[in-house]
């Protein structure tokens, strides 16, 4: 028996899964941390509540999701005091995420002395980005001083689904070029060449790139200046607007793609436009990454929208026949991990369920057993 | 005899060309307007200086370049008081450009009473962008209130070179799909389908998109928030940084591509990285627009860098063989308007000299003669 506990600590919720090998023994989410009349008053209380309800006999390691690993963390890392300090040093780069991740690790460490804690970083998979992909075209001294570069996120998911794509194709991971599309509440694209991330759409923060549930993705930076000058908005207010009131929500009033599709089907014009903007952005990234990779073996959809929204997959890849990319309507309407391109297509289009927690468990176990 | 005068009024300089039909009778630039010990003290003085030195007998029209035409101006427009008011209303959208353009028109109008003045807008060619391309994924009410949408720029150039591309291929303009790459001090890409702009890289302002001489092009909007919070910089300072001290200049210390290529050849690592970042961004846009267009007949380079920097063309299109895009090294090393792809290539790669002033002259003449 070798149990692994995975903790994904957000600012107001903590998700947990307990594995024995590949088997999920228990899972759940504690929500509304710190909300008046809501759940536990802080992360310590929440984690005590979680730990109190689990049978932790034989627990060998706790794996923690950490959003930002900066340039320092390029792989899952056993936590010690120096690692905690380093994660805390990265808070300015991820003010919304790293503090909660850190709190989770600190509390779990105290509550479970003697159990190794492993930090698994969303950014780590992207440490292979070439300099030309990671560098923004701004003053290099300013960039250096403030840590401004493309870090990329969702790395655990892109790593997992690109490896699973190679398995599905029955080909060695290090020979396959895949474009992975993680479309959840957050969304990002990644070009994976032979198991290495060579391009990704999220950048210094998870705001850049694809259109998301509530985030704008790419936009002209002048918009920020304009909202400041003409709208009289403060920088924090603009930050909040672009992160929490933009994307599908800002365009259509809803951020859940199920609801968006229903409204679009009912003739709602705002929903139809939001859908078009969302899918067009995906099309652009597929084309861009196709050009960067030169040759593409697979395009893989994952996460809530990617796995379940067939119309998004159809629209995002429409008109790409010249690139060898087509979708078979019947396969697209199916379910489960599968190919949705026709047999013999040049580019395999795949749907693969992501499982970031399982991947974190695997990575955490590998750190303590020295495996990989 | 039917002379046309073209005025391109910038904040500190005015460029002028006098045409008789297609023939250039005179041209020049008045610089350092308003600088102590420099040229004339204001735009009125500069334009009086220009007009005083020209033989304007038979002048039929003056064509003015205007950067921002907003949603209102979708074609070259005869100037009257209402048009001047409308251009002035657009100043918040183009605070760096429209005031100077406006000053030029006002002075010329006074100095040449009875001569029609025509405003030719950089944005107009892009009024055909589909909503899904023009809409940013932000709150729609905020976007509506502050005029936030993709307008696109360099329209006169993209229109001119895409039409010339069709001529070079000997095909009807309305049947050809072209990706035009205007690479000057400013730089933008455009997807032109049957003579209509369907995608372009500059957005609400000329800051978005490709890497430019001194502008960043695309970046994570969080960078603005981060520079405000961690760097303590003001919004105007960040605006100035991204517009005037970024791009090739920020990365390498030089914004002239001739000097950049020389330094790179001499082993300068910063110049090599700037070159790679610059070319990679072009590759991404070519791929993105290829995906949007579905079928591409031509990729056309224009403007200072596009026309003269063979290594940029080679690097930007390297590895695109699968898309039918290849460059013939000998043709690439040549000069003049030409094909640089091999005979029989699926996609024609072209180099075409742009001539925005000639296009402005043509458009201005068409407005007063009622032709097109
Ligand atoms: N059957 C479905 N059809 C369309 N969209 C779905 C469906 N199921 C889930 N989604 C979308 O997936 C989103 C959540 O994705 P998920 O990967 O679970 O999010 P997260 O990024 O928070 O992990 C929801 O907002 C919803 O829009
Ligand atoms: N022979 C050349 N080789 C490489 N780059 C060149 C060459 N000639 C001009 N350029 C580049 O073209 C740029 C200016 O382009 P241009 O189209 O004239 O600018 P603008 O956008 O101001 O109209 C210069 O900064 C220079 O980098």
What is the CA A82 to chain-centroid distance, rounded?
Answer: 26
Residue A341 Cα to ligand 1 midpoint, Å, equals 22
With CB atoms and an 8 Å threshold, state whether A221 touches B208. yes
CB B87 within 8 A of CB B77: no
With CB atoms and an 8 Å threshold, state whether B223 touches A287. no
Residue B165 contacts by C-beta under 8 Å, 6 or more apart in sequence? B176, B178, B180, B298, B300, B348, B350, B352
**Predicted pLDDT of residue B31:** 87
CB B252 within 8 A of CB B271: yes
Give pLDDT tens digits for A317-348. 999 999 999 999 999 999 999 999 999 999 99
User: Does any ligand 1 atom lie closer than 6 A to the CB of residue A258?
Assistant: yes
Q: For B285, name the nearest residue in chain A, comparing CA atoms only.
A: A288
With CB atoms and an 8 Å threshold, state whether B203 touches A217. no
Among residues A293, A256, A296, A297, which one has the least CA distance to residue A278? A256
Q: Where are the beta strands (DSSP E) in chain B?
A: 3-9, 14-20, 23-30, 59-66, 77-78, 117-121, 177-183, 187-193, 196-200, 298-302, 338-339, 348-351
Give pLDDT tens digits for A238-249. 999 999 999 999
Residue B122: active-site member: yes
Alpha carbons B228 and A52: distance in angstroms, whole number: 43
Question: How many other C-beta atoms are found inside a 10 Å radius of the C-beta of residue A205?
Answer: 25
Structure tokens at B343: 């005979």
With CB atoms and an 8 Å threshold, state whether B319 touches A291. yes
The catalytic position among B122, B141, B174, B343 is B122
Taken as a whole, chain B contains a residue count of: 372
**Predicted pLDDT of residue B332:** 98
Residue A172 Cα to ligand 2 midpoint, Å, equals 46
Question: How many other C-beta atoms are found inside a 10 Å radius of the C-beta of residue B300?
Answer: 26
CB B138 within 8 A of CB B148: yes
Q: For A204, name the nearest residue in chain B, comparing CA atoms only.
A: B220
Question: How many other C-beta atoms are found inside a 10 Å radius of the C-beta of residue B5?
Answer: 26
A29 alpha carbon, closest ligand: 1
Give pLDDT tens digits for A190-217. 999 999 999 999 999 999 999 999 999 9
User: Does any ligand 1 atom lie closer than 6 A to the CB of residue A10?
Assistant: no
Active-site residue list of A? 122
CB B128 within 8 A of CB B197: yes
Residues in chain A closer than 8 A to B230 (CB atoms): 92, 146
| Substitution candidate for ligand 2 out of B11, B244, B258 with most atoms within 8 A of CB | B258
Chains A–B, number of C-beta pairs less than 8 Å apart: 244
> Hey, is B358 helix, strand or coil?
helix
- The answer to the question of whether A126 is labelled as a binding residue is no
- The answer to the question of whether A186 is labelled as a binding residue is yes
Give pLDDT tens digits for A43-63. 888 988 999 899 999 999 999
B242/chain A closest Cα distance in angstroms: 7
DSSP codes of every residue in A213-239: SS---S--THHHHHHHHTS---HHHHH
A160-171: average pLDDT: 97
A254 alpha carbon, closest ligand: 1
**Predicted pLDDT of residue A348:** 98
To the nearest 10 degrees (0 to 180), the angle between helices B43-52 and B98-111 is: 50
- The answer to the question of whether A324 is labelled as a binding residue is no
Q: CA triplet B309, B310, B314: central angle to 5 degrees?
A: 125
Residue B157 Cα to ligand 2 midpoint, Å, equals 15
Residue A256 Cα to ligand 1 midpoint, Å, equals 7
CB A340 within 8 A of CB A334: yes
With CB atoms and an 8 Å threshold, state whether A273 touches B135. yes
B32/chain A closest Cα distance in angstroms: 26
Structure tokens at B161: 């070179």
Candidate from A142, A223, A290 with C-beta closest to B136: A223
With CB atoms and an 8 Å threshold, state whether B216 touches A274. no
Give pLDDT tens digits for A56-100. 999 999 999 999 999 999 999 999 999 999 999 999 998 888 998
From the CA of A312, give the closest atom in ligand 1: 4
> Hey, is B7 helix, strand or coil?
strand
A175/chain B closest Cα distance in angstroms: 17
Among residues B372, B191, B223, B148, which one has the least CA distance to residue B292? B191
* Complex-level ipTM: 0.96
Residue B213 Cα to ligand 2 midpoint, Å, equals 9
- The answer to the question of whether A182 is labelled as a binding residue is yes
A295/chain B closest Cα distance in angstroms: 7
Backbone angles phi, psi at A302, to 5 degrees: -150, 175
Best B237, B286, B291, B315 member to test A by mutation, with max A CBs in 10 Å, is B291
pLDDT tens, N- to C-terminus, chain B (372 residues): 689 999 998 878 899 999 998 899 999 999 888 888 778 888 888 988 999 899 999 999 999 999 999 999 999 999 999 999 999 999 999 888 899 899 999 999 999 999 999 999 999 999 999 999 999 999 999 999 999 999 999 999 999 999 999 999 999 999 999 999 999 999 999 999 999 999 999 999 999 999 999 999 999 999 999 999 999 999 999 999 999 999 999 999 999 999 999 999 999 999 999 999 999 999 999 999 999 999 999 999 999 999 999 999 999 999 999 999 999 999 999 999 999 999 999 999 999 999 999 999 999 999 999 865
**Predicted pLDDT of residue A40:** 87
From the CA of B187, give the closest atom in ligand 2: 21
With CB atoms and an 8 Å threshold, state whether A287 touches B287. yes
Q: Is the pLDDT of residue A1 over 80?
A: no
- The answer to the question of whether A48 is labelled as a binding residue is no
Place of tokens 């905020």: B142
Residue A195 contacts by C-beta under 8 Å, 6 or more apart in sequence? A162, A163, A166, A173, A174, A176
| Substitution candidate for ligand 1 out of A15, A304, A355 with most atoms within 8 A of CB | A304
| Substitution candidate for ligand 2 out of B10, B96, B184 with most atoms within 8 A of CB | B184
Residue B25 contacts by C-beta under 8 Å, 6 or more apart in sequence? B3, B18, B19, B55
With CB atoms and an 8 Å threshold, state whether B288 touches A292. no
Task: Write down the pTM of the prediction.
Answer: 0.96
Alpha carbons A363 and A356: distance in angstroms, whole number: 10
From the CA of A186, give the closest atom in ligand 1: 21
CB A34 within 8 A of CB A42: yes
User: Does any ligand 1 atom lie closer than 6 A to the CB of residue A257?
Assistant: yes
A334/chain B closest Cα distance in angstroms: 26
């Amino acid at each position: 028996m070798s149990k692994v506990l995975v903790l994904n600590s957000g600012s107001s919720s903590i998700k947990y899964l307990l594995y024995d090998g590949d088997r999920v023994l228990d899972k759940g989410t504690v929500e509304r941390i710190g909300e008046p009349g809501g759940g536990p008053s802080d992360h310590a209380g929440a984690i005590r509540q979680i730990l109190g309800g689990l049978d932790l006999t034989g627990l060998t390691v706790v794996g923690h999701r950490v959003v930002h690993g900066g340039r320092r963390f390029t792989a899952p890392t056993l936590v010690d005091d120096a690692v905690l300090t380093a994660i805390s040093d990265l808070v300015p780069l991820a003010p919304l995420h790293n503090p909660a991740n850190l709190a989770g690790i600190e509390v779990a460490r105290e509550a479970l002395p003697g159990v190794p804690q492993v930090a698994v970083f969303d950014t780590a998979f992207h440490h292979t980005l070439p300099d030309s992909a990671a560098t923004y075209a701004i003053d290099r001294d300013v960039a250096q001083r403030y840590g401004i570069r493309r870090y990329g996120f969702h790395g655990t998911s892109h790593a997992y689904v690109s490896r699973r794509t190679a398995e599905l194709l029955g080909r060695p991971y290090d020979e396959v070029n895949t474009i992975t599309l993680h479309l959840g509440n957050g969304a990002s694209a990644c070009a994976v060449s032979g198991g290495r991330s060579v391009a990704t759409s999220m950048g210094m923060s998870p705001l850049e790139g694809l259109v998301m549930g509530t985030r704008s993705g790419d936009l002209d930076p002048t918009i920020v200046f304009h909202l400041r000058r003409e709208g009289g908005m403060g920088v924090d207010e603009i930050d909040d607007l672009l992160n929490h009131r933009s994307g599908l929500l800002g365009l259509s009033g809803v951020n859940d793609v199920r609801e968006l599709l229903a409204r679009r089907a009912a003739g709602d014009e705002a929903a139809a436009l939001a859908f078009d903007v969302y899918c067009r952005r995906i099309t652009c990234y597929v084309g861009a990454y196709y050009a960067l990779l030169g040759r593409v073996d697979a395009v893989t959809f994952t996460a809530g929208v990617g796995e379940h929204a067939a119309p998004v997959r159809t629209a995002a890849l429409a008109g790409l026949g010249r690139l060898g990319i087509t979708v078979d309507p019947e396969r697209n309407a199916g379910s489960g991990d599968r190919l949705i391109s026709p047999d013999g297509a040049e580019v395999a289009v795949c749907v693969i369920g992501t499982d970031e927690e399982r991947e974190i468990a695997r990575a955490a176990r590998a750190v303590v057993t020295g495996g990989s």
